[in-house]
Amino acid sequence: MAKPKLFDDNLKIEKPKGLKLPITGHGFTRAPEEMIKRLEVVSTATASALMYMLGIRYTFITGPRPLKTGQHAVGSALTMQFMPQREDIASGKVQEEGENTSALWAVLDDVQKNDFLMVQAYGDKHTGCLGEMLVTSFAGRGGVGIVVDGYIRDWPRIQKMEIPLWTLGATPNFASQGPLYPWAYAVPIAVGGVLVMPGDIIIADDDGAVVVPINVAEIILDVAERYEGSEEFSRARLAAGGALRKYYPLSEEGLAELEEWKLSRLPE
């Protein structure tokens, strides 16, 4: 039995008026290179603890893990946002036909030296957010690291690359095979449950990735630099049998000993 014909064969659904993809934010300020260099000695643990003391509590990006151990990177957040597909706006078919005009290509055209690419992908296992060629392009333009709260493809080749990368894992799929669409770049995003603003500073190491708002970076640096070497000092004192209450965290007496220890290590 033939099914009743409900729609005209020539019916075409129009896209919402005024919507133009990719969406991009306004210009944002990147951290000065000098600030990035000074932050390279600050661990995620130190940055996270200091921001917590300042009352900024949600900075650790949960989920993405380092591709390799021993990775460490600091840079300015360049954000890219995937969104769920909807056929009246953008679908996998549309993406396949015009992927090089999507946010996925546009964000890579915007890469500058010391940028840290941050990708919102909802942990989707079917979307290969980035592959070898896109990562190669990012690194070639001066990018320093990538965090994806989702999956990447070309895992065997990307593992051999030098670019530090934090991700949930690998998938054989390319970007348009999954349910997401590269929607926007240089906009506020959520990565691993944390708000990331374009231009935020990202510090990432074996513990994961942490967001440092650029407006508090100098405060973090000031404290971190003043107490540089304190963990090494505390570790040595504790290993020698020193009192935990005195050396971790450092008491007033312990801080005074730290200053003497620093002076003793200065070159004559």
pLDDT in tens, the chain (268 residues): 566 778 887 877 777 777 888 999 988 999 999 999 999 999 999 999 999 999 999 999 999 999 999 999 999 999 999 999 888 887 766 666 656 788 999 999 999 999 999 999 999 999 999 999 999 999 999 999 999 999 999 999 999 999 999 999 999 998 888 899 999 999 999 999 999 999 999 999 999 999 999 999 999 999 888 777 788 889 999 999 999 999 998 899 998 998 888 888 877 6
- Give a yes or no: residue 117 inside a domain: yes
In angstroms, what CA-CA distances link 12 with 8, 88, 138, 181? 9, 10, 38, 21
Q: How far apart are CA 15 and CA 18, in angstroms?
A: 9
pTM: 0.89
Instruction: Indicate whether 255 and 124 sit together in one domain.
Output: no
User: Can you give the residue range of the structural domain that contains 256?
Assistant: 229-264
The residues with which 196 forms a beta bridge, in sequence order, are 189
Q: How far apart are CA 73 and CA 40, in angstroms?
A: 7
Instruction: Indicate whether 111 and 164 sit together in one domain.
Output: yes
- Give a yes or no: residue 150 inside a domain: yes
Instruction: Indicate whether 198 and 234 sit together in one domain.
Output: no
Number of domains in the chain: 2
Residue type, 2: A
Cis peptide before 182 (omega within 30 of 0): no
Instruction: Indicate whether 249 and 163 sit together in one domain.
Output: no
- Residue 112 phi/psi, 5-degree rounding, is -125, 170
What secondary structure letter does DSSP report for 178?
Answer: S
Instruction: Tell me which residue has tokens 């390799």.
Output: 68
Instruction: Indicate whether 105 and 31 sit together in one domain.
Output: yes
The CATH number given to whatever domain includes residue 155 is 3.50.30.40
Instruction: Indicate whether 147 and 198 sit together in one domain.
Output: yes
**To 5 degrees, how large is the angle CA 54–CA 55–CA 56?**
95
Q: How far apart are CA 215 and CA 45, in angstroms?
A: 19
193: left (phi over 0), alpha (psi -120 to 50) or beta: left
Instruction: Indicate whether 92 and 29 sit together in one domain.
Output: yes
Instruction: Indicate whether 91 and 174 sit together in one domain.
Output: yes
Instruction: Indicate whether 120 and 93 sit together in one domain.
Output: yes
Instruction: Indicate whether 135 and 242 sit together in one domain.
Output: no
What secondary structure letter does DSSP report for 216?
Answer: G
151 in Cβ contact with 131 (< 8 Å): no
Instruction: Tell me which residue has tokens 């030098």.
Output: 162
